[in-house]
Structure 1
């Protein structure tokens, strides 16, 4: 079995610390400007958007070397919301881009996330190979699609359409969670993600809901509009949010979109192929592509296995022998028990006395299995897992689900 993971021990003289504007602002804005190819003033604004309290700085003997942002999140796996820490804005000053400083930064980040009790970590990788060495693995897909509005059929709705307000946020979150339970990989949207969706690049999106006679929210969407020379100065719509609670809500949202067709010529969106939006259309006319793939990492194996959901009606037990030199508390043999859609996992005290009918895999391979992105059999073909055909099939059966997707980028 081949594992890409390598141990990342702490180093004397290096320390991960909170961002402090009076000490770190000048170097930080230069690093952020380089990461996002933006002006220094935009880098300063990004600190405010991200939240200074979420920024971490890796120092060597008090000197700024590298940075990352830690975002409290939650992600749906197996129909349940799992505590997750997002990582973004990872950057290393040019003079420190040697001797594994980036790996040290991420190892320290993971140790902090582990100490805070988070089950998972998620990120979008600029370099997949680098993050694989730290136990992250591809776990699902982020799509991008375009659709000409002429392909939206006429539709009528009896639902009331009105602009959303902050008072509607609880009802919006309720719909997001209901949909997330059947869409693996979707985010249980948090205080960090909502502003990015509803105020992209600091400008408010137009957000509307469809309501029944009792005033209950049945669906909502948010979008931005911009004139486009490529569309002869007609408008292009960026559909940032689209959430329907039921069939009538879906119909109401499609009617709302259709009402823009006289001025809007094209819709762009990150809705995945499984979204009801696409199946509602009478013809397959969208141009869709795989834009990115997100990576996850099990930070606390026992908690991650317990917080995840499992197929209803499926029961079973599985021994997982996990290799994790980066987070040693994960390393070893785990006993997973699944009953009625819930799981529990305990470390095996004496692995030598346990059955040899187990699946051996590294922490990254476990992440791909955990999300449902890869089967245990595929991981064995990749030389990332080992086990008898029966053990591999049992593992795949416990983690099986719809293909994981994530509409959000961060």
Structure 2
């Protein structure tokens, strides 16, 4: 049992064991308004074996919980250990008592102990999780394309194969190459593909070039003259075009195509009619768990030694202080670049630039120092395609 102090109330945070799985599932069903059938309960419990679940009890009843998952992500061209946060829920009669604050505080302690230097989550409310140090790092876009704009580009090349993904790992290999071009993307292992990506109703189409090399894929489903494309992943421009042409070949079957991808993906720039209905929305949030170890491992372009970052982090006290870019702690109160854990996280994951955050008032200091910091941080584009 871990005791976390939240205001004047002491919260006892416990780790859930198998005997608590039924309570955890019941709380999730209530909070997120869905039903798990009796037939599926045992399978759902098996999935929880991969979760580390923290909980708070009130009167011998599970009142609040938080799930932690172990992941690896690409950031700045490197693989990093990441702690995912999911399933945060509280029964309404126990809300606003500091439960979530206590659970998050304990989760940060445990992620630091595990060496997980980043943490990601999907927010129900961005402002709520900003208070705890998480910041937006990815955006997605959803395009709605009507039938009249399903116009093919150029001539057909290569070959499209419709596959059963469980019998062909081409999509997995394409994604593994593609996601390294971006910052923030999840490293998917086989079990994650099988458990969280492959859907029974979705089909996969693989594009192979003239040499027979798989260069792109789409995951999609068609119902009621609507094609929904959940993943559109291409390694080459030829693959982008030919996957689009494959979509267009369905024109007699469709009224509309809905395609979701990362906002940094070049689609639909290359279409004959790129003027489409596009909804861009913030997606996942991330935060640095351990600033000192993160700075020590992060590959800056120059690692200017005279730049000092003064970090403010209300929920991970070990991050408060002044640091050189190499992670060395320093006692310096003047000529520092002052920024919150949110701003540093958005910067190092690649979502925002230091000078942009300076203009927004999220970073304070002398402009020349912030310009030097900006020159030290690699330019990156972020993308995150998964959900947990």
TM-score after normalising by structure 1: 0.80
The residue aligned with 2:185 is: 186
For residues 210-249 of structure 1, the aligned pairs below 5 Å read 210-212=207-209, 215-227=212-224, 235-249=225-239
The residue aligned with 2:138 is: 140
Q: Does residue 206 of structure 1 match 2:203?
A: yes
CA shift at 1:130, angstroms? 2.5
- Please, which of 18, 36, 53 is the counterpart of residue 56 of structure 1? 53
CA shift at 1:388, angstroms? 0.9
Q: Does residue 331 of structure 1 match 2:355?
A: no
Cα deviation 1:68-90 (Å, max 9, x = unaligned): 22232233333333322221221
- Please, which of 240, 248, 253 is the counterpart of residue 243 of structure 2? 253
Residue 76 of structure 1 contacts residue 82 of structure 1 at CA under 8 Å; is this kept in 2?
yes
Cα distance 1:99–1:86, how it changes in 2: closer, same or farther (>3 A)?
A: same
CA shift at 1:299, angstroms? 0.6
Cα deviation 1:245-287 (Å, max 9, x = unaligned): 2233233322322222210222212213432331221222321
CA shift at 1:400, angstroms? 5.2
The residue aligned with 1:376 is: 354
Cα distance 1:125–1:13, how it changes in 2: closer, same or farther (>3 A)?
A: closer
The residue aligned with 1:65 is: 63
The residue aligned with 2:281 is: 291
Q: Does residue 163 of structure 1 match 2:163?
A: yes
CA–CA distance in structure 2, aligned partners of residues 309 and 388 of structure 1: 23
- Please, which of 351, 364, 368 is the counterpart of residue 390 of structure 1? 368
Give 3-state SS (helix, strand or coil) of 2:262's partner: coil
Q: CA RMSD in A?
A: 3.1
The residue aligned with 1:124 is: 122
Residue 79 of structure 1 contacts residue 180 of structure 1 at CA under 8 Å; is this kept in 2?
no
What is the number of equivalent residue pairs in this alignment?
378
The residue aligned with 1:232 is: none
- Please, which of 349, 373, 385 is the counterpart of residue 407 of structure 1? 385
Cα distance 1:218–1:293, how it changes in 2: closer, same or farther (>3 A)?
A: closer
Residue 16 of structure 1 contacts residue 105 of structure 1 at CA under 8 Å; is this kept in 2?
no
The residue aligned with 1:322 is: 311
Cα distance 1:52–1:364, how it changes in 2: closer, same or farther (>3 A)?
A: same
The residue aligned with 1:346 is: 327
CA–CA distance in structure 1, aligned partners of residues 145 and 209 of structure 2: 28
CA shift at 1:10, angstroms? 12
CA–CA distance in structure 2, aligned partners of residues 276 and 193 of structure 1: 25
- Please, which of 95, 99, 108 is the counterpart of residue 110 of structure 1? 108
CA shift at 1:122, angstroms? 0.8
CA–CA distance in structure 2, aligned partners of residues 49 and 305 of structure 1: 37
CA shift at 1:55, angstroms? 4.7
Q: Which has the higher contact order (CA 8 A, sep 6+)?
A: 1
Cα distance 1:103–1:193, how it changes in 2: closer, same or farther (>3 A)?
A: farther
Q: Does residue 80 of structure 1 match 2:78?
A: yes
Residue 78 of structure 1 contacts residue 310 of structure 1 at CA under 8 Å; is this kept in 2?
no
Unaligned runs of 5+ in 1: 1-6, 228-234, 337-344
CA–CA distance in structure 1, aligned partners of residues 133 and 95 of structure 2: 21
